[in-house]
């Protein structure tokens, strides 16, 4: 009976992204290995991950500035509209 084959690791850590880049996107792998791009950015570029960011929850202005910086004016205004709608529908804080 042949030995059981191990399943290839999956996930979004750098090692797995590099393996997938080597197999599917050598152009992006070269960018990563030469320091022109981070592995996460290459995964976003390849469509394997969605762009994400960390938002400091220290105060409303910090949150707004981070969103404006990352989203741009038009998308930030869309977020404001949706947030206003959701806040109007939410139960009042006590």
* Tens-place pLDDT, residues 5-42: 666 556 668 999 999 999 999 999 999 999 999 999 99
pTM recorded for the entire structure: 0.64
Cα torsion angle, 52, 12, 15, 32, sign = negative
Question: Could you tell me if 44 and 55 are in contact, meaning their C-beta atoms sit under 8 angstroms apart?
Answer: no
pLDDT in tens, 48-69: 999 999 998 999 999 999 999 9
Burial class (CB in 10 A: 0-12, 13-18, 19+), 28: buried
């Amino acid at each position: 009976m042949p030995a059981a084959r191990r399943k290839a690791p999956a996930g979004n850590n750098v090692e797995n992204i590099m393996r997938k880049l080597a197999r599917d996107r050598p152009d992006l792998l070269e960018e990563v290995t030469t320091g022109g791009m981070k592995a996460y950015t290459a995964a976003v570029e390849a469509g394997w991950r969605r762009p994400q960011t960390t938002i400091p929850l220290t105060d409303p202005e910090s949150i707004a500035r981070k969103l404006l910086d990352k989203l741009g004016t038009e998308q930030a205004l869309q977020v404001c509209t949706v947030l206003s709608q959701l806040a109007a529908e939410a139960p009042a804080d006590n």
